[in-house]
Amino acid sequence: MSLLFAGRRQAAAHRAAVPSGRLRWLHRSLVGWGFAGPATALVVGLSIFPAAWALLISLQKWNGIAPAKPIGLLNYQLMLEDPDLFAAVRHTVVFTVLFVPASIFLGMLVAVALNRPIKLVGFYRTCIFIPFVASAAATGILASFVFNPQYGAANSVLRALGLPQQQFLESQSQALPVICLIALWGQVGFTVVVYLAALQDIPKDVVEAARMDGANRWQVFRHVTLPALGPVTVFTSIWQTITALQLFDLVFTTTRGGPLGATQTIVYYVYVQAFKLTKFGYGSAVAYGLFAATLLITVGMILYSRRSKIEAF
């Protein structure tokens, strides 16, 4: 046994000592893939392979059990004539348009404030970050409590201010904006962290030089800070847009798409089509539609930022 090992070790030592081209190359590749292989295999196996499979499924009529029936592009044609899908797209777009600019503006504002050397800054930061940690399920349950029309805190505040009571999540017109508020509460922590990190990267001497040249605080912000935050803003816009387009958890735990479908989003629609109605083919087609739209928006944003000379990526 020991002889066998000794023999092996000798061979290895020999190989290492005489790095003849091909053997060395093979050895390096084995070591490299030894490091990178397991994670790569998992990531690729759980995303590229299923993504390709989803494309195949989207070309079929299939409930997951009976034999799949190839139907070409019929699922994609059906999407164009589906009023419920259009409503879901509309709700998702409304949510995105409300959520993305608000989360960026609020995140930047709070980060600039937290970057000042004032008292209690640690307390403020912790307060604003912590909702980011709470799950959408917990947030949703908490929100249904706070915005409960009968005994919720939100209506108590309105009552104290002498304002009319609201139905919030139970009103068809208010539910989506309220979900947007809740999402902001839960997600702004992320934008704040990212902006805070970027603010701390701005060289102090640049700011001081501008101050020396007689710029006031607003001018420093407008001409030094804001341009320096440009690349981060592109990143947060893309990130938050993707988050907004994928809204699901909050809807599931607050309204389950209601009242009367007023908060049905695209991902919620995919969930219902695929896993409630077992229309795997149609669900996959809608998911691919969402993917294509996300990709177009992301690429568009990157190209736009390149043209306006903001190097984000």
Partner 1 sequence: MMRRLPFSPWHLLLMPLALLFALPLVQMVLTAFMPDGDINRFPPRFIPSRLQLDGFIGLFTESQALRWLLNTVVVAAIAVLSQLVLCSMAGYGFARLKFFGKNAGFLMILATIMIPAQLLMIPTYVMFTRLGLIDTLAAAFVPWLASAFGIFLMRQFFLSLPAELEDAARIDGCSTFGVFWRVVLPLARPALATLTVFTLLGSWNDLIWPLVAISDESLYTIQLGLANFQGTRHTQWSLLMAGNVVATMPLIIAFVLAQRQFVATMTFSGLKG
Instruction: Report the site for partner 1 in 59-98 (rule: CB under 8 A).
Output: 64
Match 């440009």 to its residue by tokens.
Answer: 230
Should residue 304 be labelled a site residue for partner 1 when binding is judged by CB under 8 A? no
Among 40, 77, 172, 216, the residue binding partner 1 under the rule CB under 8 A is 40
Q: Which stretch binds partner 1 (CB under 8 A): 3-11, 33-41, 90-98, 170-178?
A: 33-41
Which residues in 249-288 contact partner 1 (CB under 8 A)? Answer: 249, 252-253, 267, 270-271, 274-275, 280, 283-284, 287-288
Q: Let me know: does 230 contact 224? Beta carbons within 8 Å.
A: no
Q: Which stretch binds partner 1 (CB under 8 A): 72-80, 92-100, 171-179, 195-203?
A: 195-203
Q: Which element (helix H / strand E) includes 281?
A: helix 280-307
Among 10, 11, 25, 303, the residue binding partner 1 under the rule CB under 8 A is 25
CA distance 122 to 186: 19
Q: Which stretch binds partner 1 (CB under 8 A): 2-10, 81-89, 90-98, 127-135?
A: 127-135
CA distance 191 to 182: 15
Nearest approach, Cβ of residue 100 and partner 1 (Å): 16
Q: Let me know: does 193 contact 107? Beta carbons within 8 Å.
A: no
Give bridge partners of residue 69 from the DSSP assignment. Answer: 61
Write out the two tokens for 205.
């001497």
Should residue 207 be labelled a site residue for partner 1 when binding is judged by CB under 8 A? no
Should residue 103 be labelled a site residue for partner 1 when binding is judged by CB under 8 A? no
Nearer to partner 1, 3 or 27 (CB): 27
CA distance 33 to 201: 35
Q: Let me know: does 169 contact 262? Beta carbons within 8 Å.
A: no
Which residues in 147-176 contact partner 1 (CB under 8 A)? Answer: 150-151, 153, 156, 159
Nearest approach, Cβ of residue 273 and partner 1 (Å): 10
Non-local (6+) Cβ contacts of 95 within 8 A are: 176, 179, 180, 183, 244, 247, 265
